[in-house]
Amino acid sequence: MPIIAPSLLSANFLNLQADCDMLNASAAEWYHLDVMDGRFVPNISFGPMLIDFFRKATSKVCDVHLMIEEPEKYAEAFQKAGADILTVHYEACTHLHRNIQQIKGLGMKAGVAVNPHTPVALLKDILADIDLVCLMSVNPGFGGQAFIPNTLSKIKELRQMIDERGLKVDIEIDGGVTLENAKSIVEAGATVLVAGNTVFKSKNPTETIAQLKNIS
């Protein structure tokens, strides 16, 4: 069964406590927290202060996805705010290995995200050093976009790369995950499903999370 990581970007920011309470009582294991800087992606979301609020609201894993330039300048701030996993973008890191070592040195799990146009083969020399690969299945920056079908072949290719090396690296799919396509995503080899609108726009978010969780 996949790990379910609802994206708080789709939550009701006028009633975050209620949404946190709902997630805490649900089958979701992770909070997925999208940080955007308006430079790497064409949108601005939130920073360490809100991560700190989420950390205080839950004992679940805080999975922080940095869609920002120069993430090394902010890694320590997100660690202090309570991030358990810190994911940086391949495309934003000139010295990716150094970024990964910094994150691990701060005591967090390290992830690398790749945009839809970025081949997963570029990760072969870093796979052994990370805990998670986040495959963007939409163009990053905005919620509510449709899943890019080519992502399925990228999942299969990445799954093979991980298994051939005998590694334990999660494959996280971020963008356009629905009840309709989740089974094909998991069958392709994904282990973590990020879901924003699918969860928070649902009439019964708790039940939707349970349905995603029970996909195998």
Return the active site residues.
Answer: 34, 174
Opening angle at CA 137, ends 73 and 141, nearest 5 = 45
Q: Is the dihedral of CA 85, 140, 118, 199 positive or negative?
A: positive
User: Burial of 55 by CB count in 10 Å (0-12 exposed, 13-18 middle, 19+ buried)?
Assistant: buried
Q: Within a 10 A sphere around the Cβ of 89, how many other Cβ atoms?
A: 25
Residue 34, strand partner residues: 65
Q: What interhelical angle do 16-24 and 205-213 show, nearest 10? A: 40
> How long, in residues, is the chain?
216
> Under a CB-based contact definition with an 8 Å cutoff, are residues 121 and 91 in contact?
no
Q: What interhelical angle do 48-57 and 16-24 show, nearest 10? A: 50
